[in-house]
Amino acid sequence: MTTDRLQSGAHGAVDARGVGGAGGARDVTMAIVGADVLTLDPARPRASAVAVAADGTIAAVGDDAEIRARCGARTELVDGAGLTVTPGLVDGHVHPVWGAKLARGVELRDVHDVAGLRDALLAERARLGPQALVRGWALDYAVLHGVAFPGELLAELAGGPALVSYFDLHTHVATPSAIAAAGVTAPIALDGNSAVAFADGRPTGELIELPAYWRISDALDPLGPDELRANVRAHLRRFNALGLTGGHAMDGDLAAYALLDELEAAGDLTLRLVVPLLLLPETGDDGVEELLRHRDDRGTLWRGGVAKFFADGVIETGTAWLEQPDSRGGGGDCYWPDPRRLHDLIVRFARAGFQCATHAIGDRAVRMTLDAYAAAAAAGAPALPGGALHRIEHLEVLPDALLRRCAGERVVASMQPLHGQWRPGDRSDEWTLRLGAQRSARAWRIRDVVDAGVPWTLGSDWPVAQVDPLLGVGYARARRLPGHPQMPVLDPEQALSPLEALAGYTTRPAATVGEAARGGRVAPGMRADLTVLDGDPTTVEPDALAELGVALTVVGGRVVHRRG
């Protein structure tokens, strides 16, 4: 990929003002020519060049001659030979702020047994010192499965105090010394079915749900504002290098809004974000009133307007809310001690003009959420801007009747196929064992969702799964992780086509948040959010997506990543 400057010439491409419209070469700040432009625009599915205007929108899409004619002396001309331009890739469910707090220490995603865990933790111990708190994240449940007191084993493996999160961030393990140092010497129960678990008078080490994690983590090793800001900034830059131009950041609060303002003022906000405000069981009436006043908060690259709720936890720990108990007797409770209050708050925020996004993994949680959205509509909740719709996150247990309701009631299914990577071929994982054969056979039904006409979008849920959007695209196609041919292909009938998988990271997230008229396609007048790849993600094999390079990432006409 090379860049140059060109002199201006005559106009020829169709642009946001029509053929040869007002404006001119001075309007075009950057152009990519000689590329394969995969527009996802039905009016012109393919082109070879695209021009970017000074206002951060796409000035024109056409052939090389047309776009070169739009370029002036100040235009940056990018040689796109051998490259594919797509609409900017967007993660429909990601946690950039929570991730900056939780993805600390050593990543354990590639650890598959106790010996591997010991090696990873001791390497981190050697780096930090004998008394430091060793942290790890993204551990597979299978590594410590069946251990009655995992905290004690963790202390042995780490050679001292340690705090480790399982991949889904709903369960964590702390050593007894870490729990004692945090001042917890007896069982404590917290909101959201959260607990620091004890058995036989001593801590098991398990921290169930995030309130228990924060209780230990913040007491021992709180993250200061400067470090948090630096962590978020670094993660955003890494996301850009992977081709991401935007995300639906499912971890917002007013402090996160202030942080995003700070990053944007410093020029460090490099991802376009939609950021819901999170409501939890501990959010009191005054807190609710405060959040309602912030519906329209926004910056240039970020905005609010969305409220996020948790209806349940996860299958693996028995905290998902199921119609029928799981095989271990779990799954009977809502995340909120008072489910009616959750229902009423969803209705209230919908009536106040918020888009609502609700974490619902179990079928009972999905049904409750649909009931709340229907009640909001019946109570006169307004239509959302741009045709946005209320949404449900995850929907891991989705019976046919609820699938039909999602379609008929126009509720977005926000799904993360990458979550299936922790299921082994013999289906011996805790998720499958708890659900049983019948329920687990209908896992991550993205093909059924699309075919039923349910509005949908895709995401990673990072730091739960890998944030690389090309891995997400590949998994949606192959039903296993790209680059890992040894992995089993599970539920292949739920696979998406190459174009559908790409749409899940482009046109579908734009439509989900009511921005289909501004994003998700490469077309005149749309935002100049572009991802430039070393090949066509719809024609390479899914395994090749794991190695497909990102040459350029552009957000609002600004280059936020350029391969050196």
Gap between the Cα atoms of 368 and 410, Å rounded: 15
Q: Indicate if 186 and 317 belong to the same structural domain.
A: no
From 406, 429, 458, the end of a domain falls on: 458
Q: How far apart are CA 301 and CA 298, in angstroms?
A: 8
Predicted pLDDT of residue 191: 77
In a domain, 55, yes or no: no
DSSP string, 2-71: -EEEE------SEETTEET-S--GGGEEEEEESSEEE---TT-SEESEEEEETTSBEEEEE-HHHHHTT-
Question: In this predicted model, what pLDDT tens digit does every residue of 30-64 receive, in sequence order?
Answer: 999 999 999 999 999 999 999 999 999 999 999 99
pLDDT of residue 3: 66
Q: What is the pLDDT of residue 4?
A: 63
Residue 260 belongs to some domain of the structure:
no
**Boundary residue ending a domain (425, 458, 491):** 458
| Residue 111 domain-assigned (yes or no) | yes
Sheet holding 188-190, edge to edge: 106-107, 134-139, 162-166, 171-174, 202-208, 194-199, 188-190
**Any domain includes 316:** yes
User: Is 427 found in the same domain as 314?
Assistant: yes
Token readout for 25 is: 């070469």
Q: What is the DSSP letter of 492?
A: G
Q: Is residue 285 part of a domain?
A: no
Q: In terms of domains, do 318 and 448 share one? A: yes
Would you state the structure tokens that stand for residue 360, as one six-digit string?
């619902």
In a domain, 410, yes or no: yes
The answer to the question of residue 466 being in a domain is no
DSSP 459: -
Contact yes or no for 93/250 (Cβ under 8 A):
yes
Are residues 175 and 313 both part of a single domain? no
Query: What are the distances in angstroms from CA 221 to CA 173, 190, 215, 217?
Result: 15, 20, 11, 6
List strands edge to edge, sheet with 391-394.
277-278, 306-310, 355-360, 391-394, 412-415, 456-458
539 within a domain of the structure (yes/no): no
Specify the residue for token string 């609710």.
288
189: domain CATH number is 3.10.310.70
**Structural domain total, the chain:** 2
Residues 213 and 310 in one domain: no
pTM score, two decimals? Answer: 0.94
Both 214 and 322 in a single domain? no
Q: Quick one: 319 and 216 in the same domain?
A: no
- Helix/strand/coil for 208: strand
How far apart CA 332 and CA 105 sit, in angstroms, is 34
Structural domain harbouring 200: 105-220
Statement to judge: residues 214 and 310 lie in one domain: no
Question: What CATH code is carried by the domain that includes residue 320?
Answer: 3.20.20.140
Closest Cα to residue 49, out of 72, 6, 81?
A: 81
Distances (CA, A) of 398 to 323, 331, 357, 382, 439: 11, 15, 17, 27, 9
| Helical axes 339-351 vs 363-378, angle rounded to 10° | 40
Residues in the chain with pLDDT values less than 70: 2-26
Strand partners, 249: 94
The Cα–Cα gap between 232 and 235 comes to 5
Measured CA distances, 247 to 232, 240, 496 (Å)? 13, 11, 21
Residues 195 and 331 in one domain: no
C-alpha distances in Å from residue 19, one per residue of 16, 33, 61, 66, 107: 9, 19, 11, 10, 52
**DSSP of 127-161, one letter per residue?**
HH-TTS-EEEEEE-GGGGTT-S-HHHHHHHHHTS-
Residue that finishes a domain, picked among 220, 245, 265: 220
